């Protein structure tokens, strides 16, 4: 970008009302189930009702005779149609050859390993007819002993994959310094065991896939893509034995992602397979039971964690072992929660010596994947609980203990523990972490509330407060790409590889493009996500879409201006670098200006890319005030304040909106959400009456403040990934607030969720 037409922020940083709202508010969004191509068939899945067993037979003959049924496919049919082998879904992120065999066959083959695993898919004229036909499929499964939890998993009897010889595919290590030496010399240490429960995103729009096959040599077009369409295309093309360019993934409106949606699932193969086999468009829309049962689960981690401190609260060591209940198979994003809980267990704090091991434990449950703040929500719960316990033991103020260990500008970049296999080094990029702590204390009025700790309200409820600090990683590489074209009407079309999962990408990227081009937001058309727009794209995960896509847009804008300069130079009688590109992409030199139309700019185009191997770290602090009823164990959240520095705010409306939303989602995971199985691996929470989500009456008093004191040095926007941070500290913070409220009763929560029965039991255990 030439200095003459440097980036001027006029749209960026302002609370622009969202462009996507205009269609979404009118009911004119286009989600995958809104598509109705002619000749459409509907799919329904027969899923295993047995957690662990050997498939003896599946008889589909009666189903094939049911009205409206066009096909029923089982593992045998899939193998026959896929060169004799059933394709396997394995790791997309942090793959290792030794983990591949733990992947999931796209349809149960020989064995079933969790309740909900697909056994057969029925294709019919209507979804109702397809579901009717499921009823008459006869399945014979010999049950095996299930592996219901990580303890049973560790016994290796039974094993989910006997031929692989173990239920623990891998143990990751995150380390720095000399932890043993630190603990040996430490004047204070404490070890605790904690647990976070299985829960997940539960997006409002269930997953959906629609595939249209145009015949050999043409296209397989799959709608319903989200998060990572280019990656999904690559996997699908490989499994379908098609060239990548013959597969397109189309992203429409998407009803929430939160990490779970858009990964490659069994259905992402089976629906295109059926469409090709039957040569008809096929659609499948997950129902809510399937969503709870089969969309990626997350968060079920046990951890033994030990902290070593000086007497003044300086943390000198952190060591521990995490056991991640990973479910039955390792699918695309399964490695991320176990890796993250190891690497980010230290959170925002300066800790010189760390050794954390994190073991992936297979069980007969639905496979896990990433969910907003993966491994971080869990790690924060473990660490923040332990810090409060240590502060209590050492007689230190909880705020001062945190402050003593937070990094400042002088510490940056600050290295975190290095993760092994594959190796991943991380460092905090920028910021004075005390800034958000201080701001949070001030907004929360900590000093005023401090006297309330442990005090009872007139109704007998105990009050407690707590504060916690957190980081949020963002901006995963390796690259993102953008493309721009000047249309015949003078509008600029902008294409980017980032995807929209409902976070407001369209508006935010148009803001960035508008400033970078000097073109009004209303003269920009924006296209994202689908594989039809760019040669290569990466998508939206790890809080990367704006940092990476936005930076690629800046590069494409600079390149588009270079094209304009080149073209204008001839007409203005100067060299390209003498041309100034101003508002509306008008080109001028020594008093002469050519508008875009006069220049004949239509058709000019550019590409842009942004490569990055440094992650951004937004950082923050959050505080909570609770009242706990000792008679019922019910916790009321009286007030919650979260403060996060995201480096650069593109749109305050969306940034603050996502912060508040993330907090409430985290409060769900802290107080109510729990995907439960019994000891036989039977799933117990298959409806929204069993799996409780926060509603509008639960948490009315939440304030989010977003700051931009510490731009990231790693991208031209200075932006840091945002949108996940709000959720990260919630569990630890609320557990600490409850412990603070009930300190006179000696209650120390070590497990989530903080449900009334659990709190009541903790009170009861202590008083008997």
Partner 1 sequence: MQSPVSTKFELNGKAVEAKVPARTTLADCLRHHFMQTGTHVGCEHGVCGACTVIVDGAAVRSCLMLAVQAEGSKVTTVEGLSNADHLSALQTEFRKHHALQCGFCTPGMLTTAHALLTDEPDADRERIREVLSGNICRCTGYIPIVEAVYSARAAYRKNAKPEAGQ
Chain residues binding partner 1 by CB under 8 A are 17-18, 20-22, 24-31, 33-34, 36, 67, 128, 201-206, 253-256, 258, 287-288, 501-504, 653-654, 656-658, 660-665, 687-689, 693-697, 699-700, 702
Nearest Cα residue to 671 out of 696, 699, 644:
699
- Residue 15: CB atoms within 10 A of its CB come to 12
CA angle 468, 712, 493 (to 5 degrees): 120
Angstrom distances, CA of residue 287 to CA of 327, 649, 679 = 21, 37, 25
* Contact residues for 654 (Cβ-Cβ < 8 A; gap 6+): 18, 503, 504, 507, 508
Distance CA 488, CA 490 (A): 5
Instruction: Tell the smallest beta-carbon distance from residue 513 to partner 1 (Å).
Output: 21
Instruction: Tell the smallest beta-carbon distance from residue 672 to partner 1 (Å).
Output: 12
Tokens of 179: 């932890």
Residues 728-752 as b or e (16 or more Cβ within 10 Å = b): bbbbbbbbbbbbbbbeebebbbbbb
Angstrom distances, CA of residue 582 to CA of 2, 485, 487, 561, 605 = 12, 17, 18, 9, 17
Instruction: Tell the smallest beta-carbon distance from residue 688 to partner 1 (Å).
Output: 4
Beta carbon nearer to partner 1, 129 or 358? 129
Tokens of 103: 């992947």
Nearest Cα residue to 498 out of 426, 546, 458:
546
Beta carbon nearer to partner 1, 488 or 687? 687
* Contact residues for 574 (Cβ-Cβ < 8 A; gap 6+): 589, 590
Beta carbon nearer to partner 1, 518 or 657? 657
* Contact residues for 764 (Cβ-Cβ < 8 A; gap 6+): none
Tokens of 753: 């969720």
Beta carbon nearer to partner 1, 333 or 658? 658
In 612-651, alpha helices (H): none
Instruction: Tell the smallest beta-carbon distance from residue 698 to partner 1 (Å).
Output: 8
Distance CA 349, CA 315 (A): 8
Beta carbon nearer to partner 1, 18 or 376? 18
Preceding amide of 413 cis, omega within 30? yes
* Contact residues for 255 (Cβ-Cβ < 8 A; gap 6+): 31, 203, 204, 205, 502
Instruction: Tell the smallest beta-carbon distance from residue 734 to partner 1 (Å).
Output: 15
Beta carbon nearer to partner 1, 36 or 163? 36
Beta carbon nearer to partner 1, 198 or 372? 372
End-to-end CA distance of the chain: give it in Å, rounded: 71
Query: Pairing mode, if any, of strands 592-594 and 414-415?
Result: unpaired
Beta carbon nearer to partner 1, 41 or 78? 41
Beta carbon nearer to partner 1, 661 or 725? 661
Instruction: Tell the smallest beta-carbon distance from residue 45 to partner 1 (Å).
Output: 15
Instruction: Classify residue 169 as exposed, middle or buried by CB count within 10 Å of its CB (0-12, 13-18, 19+).
Output: buried
CA angle 690, 193, 152 (to 5 degrees): 65
Beta carbon nearer to partner 1, 288 or 479? 288
Beta carbon nearer to partner 1, 574 or 692? 692
Q: How many residues does the chain have?
A: 768
Q: Is 520 left (phi over 0), alpha (psi -120 to 50) or beta?
A: beta
Distance CA 435, CA 527 (A): 38
Instruction: Tell the smallest beta-carbon distance from residue 108 to partner 1 (Å).
Output: 25
Instruction: Classify residue 210 as exposed, middle or buried by CB count within 10 Å of its CB (0-12, 13-18, 19+).
Output: buried
Distance CA 546, CA 539 (A): 10
CA atoms within 13 A on the CB side of 751: 12
Tokens of 482: 């953008």
Instruction: Tell the smallest beta-carbon distance from residue 371 to partner 1 (Å).
Output: 12
Instruction: Give the start-end residues of each E strand in 286-393.
Output: 301-309, 315-327, 354-362
Instruction: Tell the smallest beta-carbon distance from residue 255 to partner 1 (Å).
Output: 3
Instruction: Tell the smallest beta-carbon distance from residue 34 to partner 1 (Å).
Output: 4
Instruction: Tell the smallest beta-carbon distance from residue 737 to partner 1 (Å).
Output: 18
Instruction: Tell the smallest beta-carbon distance from residue 340 to partner 1 (Å).
Output: 22
Instruction: Give the start-end residues of each E strand in 310-423.
Output: 315-327, 354-362, 414-415, 418-419
Instruction: Tell the smallest beta-carbon distance from residue 696 to partner 1 (Å).
Output: 4
Beta carbon nearer to partner 1, 410 or 689? 689
Instruction: Tell the smallest beta-carbon distance from residue 686 to partner 1 (Å).
Output: 10
Instruction: Tell the smallest beta-carbon distance from residue 272 to partner 1 (Å).
Output: 22
Beta carbon nearer to partner 1, 60 or 665? 665
* Contact residues for 410 (Cβ-Cβ < 8 A; gap 6+): none
Beta carbon nearer to partner 1, 79 or 653? 653
Beta carbon nearer to partner 1, 33 or 480? 33
- Residue 692: CB atoms within 10 A of its CB come to 16
Tokens of 17: 């009302």
Beta carbon nearer to partner 1, 517 or 702? 702
Instruction: Tell the smallest beta-carbon distance from residue 618 to partner 1 (Å).
Output: 18
Nearest Cα residue to 735 out of 468, 540, 348:
468
Beta carbon nearer to partner 1, 290 or 378? 290
Instruction: Tell the smallest beta-carbon distance from residue 295 to partner 1 (Å).
Output: 13
Instruction: Tell the smallest beta-carbon distance from residue 527 to partner 1 (Å).
Output: 18
Beta carbon nearer to partner 1, 558 or 656? 656
């Amino acid at each position: 970008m030439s200095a003459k037409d440097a980036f001027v922020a006029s749209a960026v940083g302002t609370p622009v009302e969202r462009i996507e709202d205009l269609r979404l508010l009118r009911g004119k969004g286009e989600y995958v189930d809104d598509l109705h191509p002619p000749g459409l068939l509907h799919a329904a899945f027969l899923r295993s009702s047995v957690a662990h067993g050997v498939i003896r037979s599946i008889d589909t003959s009666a189903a094939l005779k049911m009205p409206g049924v066009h096909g029923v496919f089982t593992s045998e049919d899939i193998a026959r149609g896929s060169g004799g082998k059933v394709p396997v879904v394995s790791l997309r992120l942090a793959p290792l050859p030794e983990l591949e065999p733990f992947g999931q066959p796209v349809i149960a083959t020989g064995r079933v390993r969790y309740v909900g695993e697909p056994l057969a898919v029925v294709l019919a004229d209507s979804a109702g007819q397809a579901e009717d036909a499921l009823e008459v499929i006869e399945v014979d499964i010999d049950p095996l002993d299930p592996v219901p939890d990580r303890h049973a998993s560790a016994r290796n009897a039974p094993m989910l994959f006997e031929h692989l010889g173990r239920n623990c595919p891998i143990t990751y290590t995150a380390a720095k310094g000399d932890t043993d030496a630190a603990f040996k010399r430490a004047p204070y240490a404490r070890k605790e065991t904690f647990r976070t429960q299985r829960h997940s995103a539960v997006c409002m729009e269930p997953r959906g896939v629609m595939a249209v096959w145009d015949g050999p040599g043409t296209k397989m077009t799959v709608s319903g893509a989200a998060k990572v369409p280019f990656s999904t295309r690559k996997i699908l093309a490989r499994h379908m034995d098609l060239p990548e360019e013959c597969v397109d993934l189309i992203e429409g409106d998407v009803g929430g992602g939160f990490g779970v949606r858009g990964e490659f699932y069994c259905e992402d193969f089976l629906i295109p397979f059926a469409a090709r086999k039957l040569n008809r468009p096929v659609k499948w829309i997950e129902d809510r039971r399937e969503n709870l049962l089969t969309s990626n689960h997350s968060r079920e981690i046990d951890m033994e964690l030990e902290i070593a401190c000086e007497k003044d609260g300086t943390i000198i060591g952190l060591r521990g072992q995490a056991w991640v209940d990973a479910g039955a198979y390792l699918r695309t994003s399964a490695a991320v929660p176990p890796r993250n809980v190891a690497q980010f267990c230290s959170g925002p704090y300066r800790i010189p010596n760390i050794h954390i091991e994190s073991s992936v434990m297979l069980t007969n449950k639905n496979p896990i994947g990433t969910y907003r703040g993966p491994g971080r929500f869990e790690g924060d719960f473990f660490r923040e609980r332990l810090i409060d316990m240590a502060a209590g033991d050492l007689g230190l103020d909880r705020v001062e203990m945190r402050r003593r260990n937070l990094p400042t500008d002088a510490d940056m970049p600050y290295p975190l523990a290095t993760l092994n296999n594959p190796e991943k080094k991380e460092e905090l990029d920028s910021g004075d972490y005390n800034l958000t702590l201080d701001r949070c204390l001030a907004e929360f009025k900590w000093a005023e509330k401090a006297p309330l700790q442990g005090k009872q309200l007139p109704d007998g409820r105990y009050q407690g407060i707590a504060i916690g600090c957190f980081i949020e990683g963002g901006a995963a590489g390796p690259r993102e790409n953008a493309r721009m074209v000047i249309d015949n009407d003078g509008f600029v079309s902008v294409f980017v590889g980032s995807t929209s999962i409902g976070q407001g990408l369209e508006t935010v990227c148009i803001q960035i493009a508008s400033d970078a081009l000097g073109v009004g937001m209303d003269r920009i058309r924006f296209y994202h996500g689908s594989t039809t727009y760019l040669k290569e794209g990466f998508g939206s995960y790890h809080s990367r879409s704006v940092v990476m896509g936005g930076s690629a847009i800046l590069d494409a804008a600079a390149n588009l201006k270079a094209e304009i300069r080149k073209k204008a130079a001839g007409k203005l009688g100067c060299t390209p670098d003498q041309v100034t590109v101003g508002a509306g992409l008008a080109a001028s030199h020594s008093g002469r200006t050519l508008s875009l139309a006069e220049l004949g700019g239509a058709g000019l185009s550019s590409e842009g890319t942004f490569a990055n191997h440094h992650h951004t770290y937004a950082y923050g602090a959050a505080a909570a005030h609770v009242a706990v009823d000792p008679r019922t164990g019910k916790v009321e959240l009286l007030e919650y304040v979260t403060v996060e520095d995201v480096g650069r705010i593109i749109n305050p409306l969306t940034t603050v909106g996502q912060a508040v939303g993330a907090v409430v989602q985290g409060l769900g995971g802290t107080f109510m959400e729990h995907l439960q199985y019994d000891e036989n691996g039977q799933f117990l929470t298959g409806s929204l009456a069993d799996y409780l989500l926060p509603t509008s009456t639960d948490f009315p008093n939440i304030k989010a403040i977003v700051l931009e004191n510490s731009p990231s040095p790693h991208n031209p926007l200075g932006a840091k990934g945002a949108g996940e941070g709000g959720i990260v500290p919630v569990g630890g913070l609320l557990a600490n607030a409850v412990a603070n409220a009930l300190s006179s009763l000696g209650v120390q929560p070590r497990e989530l969720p903080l449900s009334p029965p659990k709190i009541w039991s903790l009170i009861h255990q202590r008083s008997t």
